Amino acid sequence: MKNDLIDVLIIGAGPCGLFQAFQLGLQGINSHIVESQSDAGGQCNELYADKPIYDIPGIPHILAGDLADQLLTQLKPFNPTFHFNTAVTHIVQCDDSTFKVHTSTNTTFHTRHIVIASGAGAFTPVKMRLEGIEALENTQLFYKKVAPDLCAEQKVTITGDTADALKEIINQQNTAAEITFIHRKRRLPDDVDLVAEITRLQGNGAVKVIQGKITEAIVEGGTLKKLLVTDNNKETIEVPTEVLIARLGSSPKMQNYSDWGIETTRRHIDVSTNNFESSIPCLYSVGDINQYAGKRKLILCGFHEATLAAFAIASRLNPESPVHTQYTTTSTQLLQRLGVTKET
């Protein structure tokens, strides 16, 4: 339970959620950010981290993953509090118009304002479809990045056709006793450097590569012992396995926000274009999850929405003081908040 009343809780740490925290910071408002994944970046990291983006104003092109990193760097002076691996399950509006926000980790946040920046939804890993495999999750079967010490001196099998699967091989190469890489597609991800490194590791015997499909997990006494793999020649290969890392990609699961009493259209949150507030006062929405007449699902549009939402929240928090438009080129106050000049 988070008993302290906080000013703003942002749901989602994608580009729009990160920029929302930045704009709030410029207004002198601290925020907490809840994210279902283990790190920030949202769709940019989950779906196309290595793809270039060409329509961010003033930046001719930038890799999606690098954009998330740059947004985190930009946000650093304001030091928001992140809560990773945490999904919001439901919200309750209190009699004083504040909110209690309940999460998958049994943590409850008490906040004056909420900004939903959940994009296409909470990303969940694509899971394996093998009989009895669910019981091994988080003990021998892992869908997210695994610390190398967990695989130390273990027989590790990594499966998936994603760049994340290749990165996991590189991450584990110096600690695992053995690494077997199983993939189904004839062509590996379009990352020349990653593929070249895996080819090098295969050549020097650091990793065994099998193109085929895992058809069965052999479990004895509740412990995974080996996997049966059918290769492209229809032959069955036994792969002794102590740790199985499945990097099969992820898919978004969109919350039905109408269950929380928010007005929606086709599961997207209806907002006012004046301040991107929803049908519930003090609850805002920015980015791909909202909808209004003329809506375009572009990052730059989400940045605009986050800016106006931040001004609206600042006005609500300080109703007696007008919120003026200031510029980072000339405003001493903004420069001080950014740490560019010392406070006097």
Q: How many CB atoms lie under 10 A from the CB of residue 11?
A: 27
Report whether pLDDT(250) > 60.
yes
Average pLDDT over residues 206-212: 94
Average pLDDT over residues 215-243: 95
Report whether pLDDT(104) > 80.
yes
Average pLDDT over residues 12-16: 96
pLDDT at 162: 83
Report the percentage of the chain scoring pLDDT > 90: 77
Instruction: Report which of 285, 275, 273, 270 is spatially closest to residue 308, judged by C-alpha positions.
Output: 275
**Separation of alpha carbons 331 and 326, rounded Å:** 6
Average pLDDT over residues 39-66: 89
Q: How confident is the model at residue 296 (pLDDT cuts 50, 70, 90)?
A: very high
pLDDT at 120: 80
Query: What are the phi and psi torsion angles at 72 (to 5°)?
Result: -65, -40
Report whether pLDDT(46) > 80.
no
Report whether pLDDT(126) > 60.
yes
Report whether pLDDT(2) > 70.
no
What is the pTM assigned to this prediction? 0.80
pLDDT at 190: 66
**Separation of alpha carbons 68 and 88, rounded Å:** 22
Report whether pLDDT(145) > 80.
no
Average pLDDT over residues 139-160: 90
| Averaged pLDDT of the chain | 92
Q: How many CB atoms lie under 10 A from the CB of residue 280?
A: 18
- List of domains in the chain: 2-123+251-338 (3.50.50.60), 127-248 (3.50.50.60)
